[in-house]
């Protein structure tokens, strides 16, 4: 009996894992109707009923559960084998780095000429994503990630903390309303942008948290003025267009500040609670890889040359609840 193709099996695996055709469709870039059609084709081809369906949910049948376990294992094996094959095929001088778009654009890429000058025999290639990667399956040598630094089977070295500060464009300073103190942000018709992101244990600092750090009374704060974005790049873009003030990660906008594209407002910042920070992460078995060692030493050297964090009176620590630190 012919087996379903890899694409059909990926659709089945996603539908079985999510127990939902719509979520599987979102993951795969398909419509729910297309997922449902492919599942029906697999069932017809195999002569099996894989899901029981009702108006609100789907459930795996015993046959579906058995096939799901085998499919997940087979796809994982194929994924890992493909990653190893790609590693064998690429140049031994190439180092593959996984990192977010914002970190790449605002921190690493401006420093690439320095890296190449220090390591002329090493070629970097990039995997740009905010998702955690499987080093073996995704053919990644080393990653730069924001998190707690706890990654199973990997070594993580802390690079720098995250300090969230308000910024605006020079045009807003020149042509906009006067901004002499933090409370002025609420006195004028300004869009106040921030990153709207949280996990089970941590919330990214928003304007309410920053206002508390700046000493603005809670009753004076109007949440309708705040606009949350999923990514800091959207915050910075809104600020660069001239009509907004945004909360941004100081280290990742250092280039924009140095070039005068952005201006920092006020000497108040909010730091993420430990252990959240940017980490250099790599598999423990890669610790002796000369390419990884070269990139690690260069990164840590760059960290040492970075300006230090502001004095203690300039920032507050921001876990889920804010604790004064001055």
Tokens of 207: 């304007």
Q: Are residues 208 and 255 in the same domain?
A: yes
119 shares its domain with 238:
no
Q: Is the pLDDT of residue 200 over 70?
A: no
Neighbours of 272 (CB within 10 A): 21
Q: What is the CATH number of the domain that holds 83?
A: 1.10.10.10
- Let me know whether 81 and 36 are in one domain: yes
Summarize pLDDT for 156-184 with one digit per residue, the tens. Answer: 999 888 899 999 999 988 888 888 899 88
Of 125, 35, 50, the C-alpha closest to 89 is: 125
Q: Look at residues 87, 109, 144 and tell me which one is the last residue of a structural domain.
A: 87
Which pLDDT does position 317 carry in this prediction?
45
* Mean pLDDT for the stretch of residues 281-300: 90
3 state SS of 198: strand
Torsion of CA 122, 125, 127, 130, to 10 degrees: 60
One domain for residues 147 and 233: no
**321: pLDDT strictly greater than 50:** no
On whether both 289 and 154 belong to a single domain, the answer is yes
Is there a single domain that holds both residue 184 and residue 120? no
Give me 218's structure tokens.
């809670």
In this model, does residue 61 exceed pLDDT 90?
yes
pLDDT-derived band at 320, boundaries 50, 70, 90:
very low
Number of domains in the chain: 3
User: 78 with 177, same domain?
Assistant: no
| Pairing status of strand 226-229 against strand 263-264 | unpaired
Q: Is 78 domain-assigned?
A: yes
Alpha-carbon torsion angle 132, 136, 138, 144, nearest 10: 40
Query: Is 1 part of any domain?
Result: no
Asked if the structure places residue 326 within a domain, the reply is: no
Whether residues 240 and 314 fall in one domain: yes
- pLDDT for residue 148 is more than 70: yes
Taking residues 136-158, report their average pLDDT.
87
- Classify residue 301: in a domain, yes or no: yes
Are both 208 and 253 inside the same structural domain?
yes
Last residue within a domain, chosen from 87, 114, 136: 87
| Tokens describing residue 180 | 């002499």
**Alpha-carbon distance 102 to 104, whole Å?**
5
CATH of the domain at 264: 3.40.190.10
For position 132, what pLDDT does the model report? 79
Least Cα distance to 282 among 50, 96, 51 occurs for 96
Residue 220, pLDDT above cutoff 80: no
Give me 182's structure tokens: 């933090």
Q: What does the pLDDT look like over 240-273, one tens digit per residue? A: 887 789 999 998 888 888 889 999 999 899 988 7
pLDDT for residue 312 is more than 60? no
Domain boundary among 46, 65, 87: 87
The dihedrals phi and psi of 55, each to the nearest 5 degrees, come to -70, -20
| CA of residue 25 relative to chain centroid, distance | 22
- Domain membership flag for residue 323: no
What is the 3-state secondary structure of 130-163? CCCCCCCCCCCCEEEEEECCCCCCEEEEEEECCE
pTM of the model: 0.66
* Same domain? 11 vs 81: yes
Residue 192: Cβ within 10 Å count: 22
pLDDT tens, position by position, 19-31: 999 999 999 999 9
Same domain for 281 and 167? no
Based on the domain organization, do 199 and 314 belong to the same domain?
A: yes
Cα distance between residue 246 and residue 231, in whole Å: 12
Q: Tell me if 73 is assigned to some domain.
A: yes
Domain of 108? 91-161+275-305
d(CA 277, CA 145): 8
Report yes or no: 247 and 165 within 8 Å, Cβ to Cβ: yes
Cα separation, 315 vs 213, whole angstroms: 8
3-state SS assignment for residue 203:
strand
């Amino acid at each position: 009996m012919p087996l379903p193709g890899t694409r059909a099996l990926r659709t089945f695996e996603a539908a079985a894992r999510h127990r939902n055709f719509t979520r599987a469709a979102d993951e795969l870039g398909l419509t729910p109707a297309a997922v449902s059609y492919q599942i029906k084709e697999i069932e017809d081809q195999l002569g099996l009923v894989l899901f029981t369906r009702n108006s609100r949910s789907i459930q795996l049948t015993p046959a579906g559960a058995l096939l799901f376990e085998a499919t997940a294992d087979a796809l994982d094996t194929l994924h890992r084998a493909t990653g190893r094959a790609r590693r064998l095929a690429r140049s031994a001088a190439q180092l593959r780095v996984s990192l977010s778009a914002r970190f790449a654009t605002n921190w690493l890429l401006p420093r690439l000429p320095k890296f190449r000058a220090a390591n002329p025999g090493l070629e970097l290639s990039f995997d740009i994503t905010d998702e955690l990667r499987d080093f073996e399956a995704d053919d990644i040598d080393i990653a730069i990630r924001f998190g707690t630094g706890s990654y199973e089977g990997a070594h993580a070295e802390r690079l720098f903390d995250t300090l969230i500060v308000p910024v605006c464009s020079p045009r807003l300073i020149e042509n906009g309303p006067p901004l002499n103190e933090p409370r002025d942000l609420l006195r004028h018709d300004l869009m106040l942008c921030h990153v709207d992101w949280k996990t089970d244990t941590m919330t990214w600092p928003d304007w309410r948290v920053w206002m508390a750090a700046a000493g603005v009374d809670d009753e004076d704060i109007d949440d309708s003025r705040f606009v949350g974005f999923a990514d800091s790049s959207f915050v910075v873009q809104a600020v660069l267009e001239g009509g907004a003030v945004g909360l941004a990660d100081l280290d990742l906008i250092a280039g924009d500040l140095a070039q005068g594209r952005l201006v920092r407002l006020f000497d108040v910042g909010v730091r993420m609670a430990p252990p959240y920070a940017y980490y250099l992460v790599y598999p423990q078995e890669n610790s002796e890889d000369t390419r990884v060692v070269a990139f690690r030493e260069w990164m840590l050297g760059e960290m040492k040359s970075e300006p230090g964090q502001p004095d203690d009176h300039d920032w507050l620590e921001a876990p889920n609840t804010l604790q004064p630190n001055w």
